[in-house]
Amino acid sequence: MINMKRVMAAILSLSVLMGAPSSAFASSYIMHTVKSGDNLYSISQEHNVSYAQVANLNGKDELYAGNLVKVRPISGNKDIRIYLNDQVITADTLPYIENGRTFVPIRFIAEAIGIEQINWNDHNEEAILMKNGVTISLPIRQSYAMIDHKTITLDAPINIYNGRTFVPLRFVAEAFNVDVEWQESTASVKLYTKGYKPVKTETVMKASISYSQEDLYWLSRLVHAEAEAEPFEGKLAVANCIINRKKSKDFPNTIKEVIFDRNWGVQYTPTANGTIYNTPSEESVKAARMALEGNNNIGESLYFLNPKKSTNNWIVKNRTFYRRIQNHDFYL
């Protein structure tokens, strides 16, 4: 381990953790890390966007494995905003999203949550953050990190973008005991330190009494049956897909009727195989409740599927891809 002055000097000279300030883009982007064999066409197909869009965003330069390319602006051409205890905090380079995860410059998040020490390990090409006896290691261009020597798989790799090292915001924040909430409607990430009580908006308070116990009963069971093995964010997204259908004129207008809808055939396999009646986990109940209270992380998506298992080509061919969360793809 080396001292902070030497670390910062090395970082500046290598443009790894720090770099010259660059102008911000008009919006934050959905990004893709190039893999061996990728080209702009294959990337456009993987993300269900047009080749022309990807080419226009990135030009026709040769692609290199490990580098980032832009897929599309986030919904609504918004900038991602970061809040700490309900106060906006700003980085000099905009965050981006890859595989459903928000990435931010490492120095930005470290300073925001009071990291005591940032080190750089040349041998392993990794940044090391330490606070309150917790150490996390973040190796560049790898899809894993370590918390006190325990390896954690990430949904997308740590990477270099605009001369900065970008790291997954939720992973770093939660590793240091900071709560994280994503608000889809405003493209905002809310960070809350322990002991701080978030301001509860009037909208959320009204939404919290707008559902019945029957709604919670069936929604939590559907979430559990469809997304038991998915992360909490995936469970929340599945719950919101059901709620979005309830709100849509094209589907029934109650949670239960949406789940058991067979107008175009069985909509959700658990209603056919009986797993809809299994007792949901606490996390599934929490996801259902949060969705019913207005916490939406999936926009207006109406459909989801596991591309490794699904045989439903109609969704892929006819609906607009929105986002991937672990094993599920979500469509508008």
Q: Give the per-residue pLDDT at 136.
A: 95
| Chain CA centroid to CA 299, Å | 12
Q: Give the per-residue pLDDT at 87.
A: 83
Query: What fold is seen in the domain 29-73?
Result: Membrane-bound Lytic Murein Transglycosylase D; Chain A (3.10.350)
Q: Give the per-residue pLDDT at 166.
A: 94
Backbone angles phi, psi at 44, to 5 degrees: -65, -40
Output the pTM of the full model.
Answer: 0.56
Average pLDDT, rounded, for the chain: 83
**Rounded Cα–Cα distance for residues 117 and 115 (Å):** 6
pLDDT band at 322 (very low <50, low <70, confident <90, very high): confident
Q: Give the per-residue pLDDT at 226.
A: 93
pLDDT tens digits, 208-239: 446 788 899 999 999 999 999 999 989 999 99
What average pLDDT does range 118-125 have in this prediction? 89
Amino acid at 326: Q
pLDDT band at 106 (very low <50, low <70, confident <90, very high): very high
Dmax over CA atoms of the chain, in Å, equals 66
> Does residue 251 have a pLDDT over 60?
yes
Domain ranges of the chain: 4-22+75-193, 29-73, 203-331
Q: What is the domain class of 203-331 according to CATH?
A: mainly alpha
pLDDT band at 26 (very low <50, low <70, confident <90, very high): very low
**Rounded Cα–Cα distance for residues 159 and 126 (Å):** 11
Helix axes 282-292, 213-227, angle to 10 degrees: 120
Using DSSP, state whether 131 is helix, strand or coil.
Answer: strand
User: What's the token pair of residue 292?
Assistant: 């019913």
Q: Which residue in the block uniquely carries the two structure tokens 């990728």?
A: 38
CATH number given to 4-22+75-193: 3.30.457.10
Q: Give the per-residue pLDDT at 316.
A: 85
Q: How many helices (H) and strands (E) does the chain have?
A: 12, 18
